[in-house]
A and B are shown apart, each in its own frame.
Chain A
Amino acid sequence: MSTFSNPISRAGTTAKGTSGSGRPARRGLLLHAVLLVCAIGMALPFAWMLFSSFKPLSEIFVQPPKLLPQDWNEQGYRTALGGADFVRGFWNSTYIALTVTAVSLLTSAMAAYAFARIDFWGRRPLFMVFLATMMVPGQLTIIPLYIIMGWLGWVDTHTAIIVPPALFNAFGVFLLRQYIKGIPVELEEAAQLDGAGRVRRFVTIILPLLRTPLTALGIFTFLGQWNNFFFPLIFLNSSENFTLPLLVNQFKGQYVSDWPALMAATTLLAAPMLIVFAFAQRQIVEGIALSGSKS
């Protein structure tokens, strides 16, 4: 049986790859040539960033510009690390993004469970409100939010940029609700017969089954928070509170003509996420693609 079906399926895939083309080999070569050139083009700005950060200032103005430094030099990094507290910015960004991610995953999963499984008064209209808020642009609510943060005494504190995204994530609620609805109710009913309450069923049955969407949503949330510029820009004033993007933006204002130092600072900002991406490419891409189920 299996020896019979194997060649057929293999033949099927070969036919699929070459169908509609008289010269598959040459076409394949052309395809990879185009993709390779464009992929290199996409990566070139990063290469300029990285190599320029190792150039001495004098080499920046050499015409025509050369990609690789002639005289490798770490002065740019010395200036960058001396001009701004990158360690602190890195720590701020990391712990803020981690806190938001952890809390928002838990609260989103709880709300999603309520919407998917509990028959409570007002469920349908409330869910519609959650969906509708995804259309609201952040710039509209940031002005009243700024005033509210002023009343709460949260302006220029990390609380201002941690609490709102941690406690409100309409996209996360929507996404996880779709997944929970796909989990068979029978699993929970069996546990219920054994006397397990809502909370226990949620923790021991639902949460473990949500591992895939939670991972994707977590990566997505972490990336969004780590790279966020707009909210920290509005809410944070003092540089010891700055996240890494704000810190580099401030550094750029002060060292605008010291290109190697600016590119070193930019490399320090971009590198952590690029390294994470290189290792978790599949999960990140899936996480981003999940946003397609939005709205």
Chain B
Amino acid sequence: MAVSSAGSRAGAQLRSGDQDVAPDARPDRRSRRRRGGDTAAGYLFLAPQLLGLVVFMVGPLLFALVLAFYHWDGFGTRSFAGLSNFTDVVSDPRIQRAAVNTLWFTVLQVPGLMLTGLFFALLMQRAGKLTPVYRLAFFAPVITSSVAVAAIWLWLFNPDISPVNNALRGFGLPAPNWLQDARFVIPAFAIVGIWQGLGYQLIMFMAGLQGIDRSFLEAAVLDGCSEWQKLRHVTIPLLSPTILFLSITSIIGSFQVFDYIYIFFDDRAPDSARTVVYEVVRIAFGEFDFGEASALAFLLFLALLLVTGCQLAAQKRWVHYTE
């Protein structure tokens, strides 16, 4: 039940957040009369999460904003930095390189994930009784710790013992030294990311496909549409809320890639392999320059808001809602 409605629900909520927040259509009359008592009851039920919101989210967020304008190692004296943390970050060639690496990773991973996810979801739709068997294989990497995933691929990327490279050579293809070659290290991360993330995309697309009203597809068949036309003009447009949701969440995830790099290289990643979040962690917990690290994290957050904002603004042109 939950699976079938997830995709369409996701889209509907992206379109109109207000709709969810609208007060109950049918207000409880009794509660209106005893407003004071209900406010107390409301905050009583809300108290633990409200405490968490203030202490572990809103507080730190404001604190990070302040930190970004200071020089501070967390212990010694604080000094006002103005915008210098931001200008330092933007002009640092190492961080520029990290930003380019992060973008390159996103460009490789997001389309790779979404296309393979959709492809296998379309196939799995017709797999019948064997669906759980296939799903097990595709989904197992999703629930596996990124440490285990990276350790396995550390082996599969090792040029001396890798069965992957052996197979590539067997096909007469070049077998790169994945993690040590500056040209291949980011694509290598993308391969690992796609292997681990594919199952999630697959599940979300399958949920979206289940939510499609059969009558649309049947009408297309009656109109003499080919399989490809059905996919292109019926299925894809009706899946567009799911596609929008997955593209937003995948880009956010890709921008924040960190685990694999840290597990592959610890704190000794070469410049060619560093990403923005890796730099945030290095500056904060390696150099203890909390101000500059916060500034960089804020710029990343702004970039994410900007990209997500553009996606939401552009959705009117291509996202279709059936409700």
Contact = CB atoms under 8 A, between A and B. Distances in A.
Interface of A: 16-17, 19-21, 28, 31-32, 34-36, 38-40, 42-43, 45-46, 48-49, 52, 60-61, 63-65, 67, 107-108, 110-111, 113-115, 117-121, 123-124, 126-131, 133, 135-148, 150, 163-164, 166-170, 173, 178, 181, 185, 198, 202, 212-213, 216, 223, 226-227, 229-230, 233-234, 244-246, 248-249, 252-253, 259, 262-263, 265-266, 269-270, 273-274, 277-278, 281-282, 284-286, 288-295
Contacts of B130: 32, 35
Interface residues of B, number: 117
Contacts of B256: 137-139
B56 A145 contact: yes
Given A19-B221, A114-B42, A262-B151, A227 B143 contact: yes
A229 B204 CA distance: 24
B145 A269 contact: yes
A8 to B, nearest CB: 15
Given A178-B20, A227-B145, A259-B161, A145 B152 contact: no
Contacts of B146: 227, 229, 245
A35 B153 contact: no
B148 A266 contact: yes
A140 B57 contact: no
A210 to B, nearest CB: 13
A27 B185 CA distance: 38
Interface stretch (B25-33, B82-90, B101-109, B314-322): B25-33
Contacts of A245: 145-148
A292 B207 contact: yes
B152 A49 contact: yes
Nearest to A113: B45
B195 interface: yes
Contacts of B2: 212-213, 216, 286, 289-290
Given A107-B52, A223-B143, A263-B155, A137 B304 contact: yes
Nearest to B48: A107
B38 interface: yes
Given A124-B21, A137-B300, A167 B60 contact: no
B59 A48 contact: no
Given A139-B280, A270-B144, A111 B304 contact: no
Majority DSSP secondary structure for residues of B touching A: helix
A141 B52 contact: no
Contacts of B63: 144, 147-148
Contacts of B147: 229, 245-246, 248-249, 252, 266, 269
B132 A133 contact: no
Contacts of B258: 139, 230
A31 B134 CA distance: 12
A198 B30 CA distance: 13
B236 interface: no
Contact of A293 (B9, B136, B137): B9
Contacts of B61: 136, 140-141, 144
B52 A281 contact: no
A143 B284 contact: yes
Contacts of B135: 281, 285
Given A124-B21, A292-B245, A35 B120 contact: yes
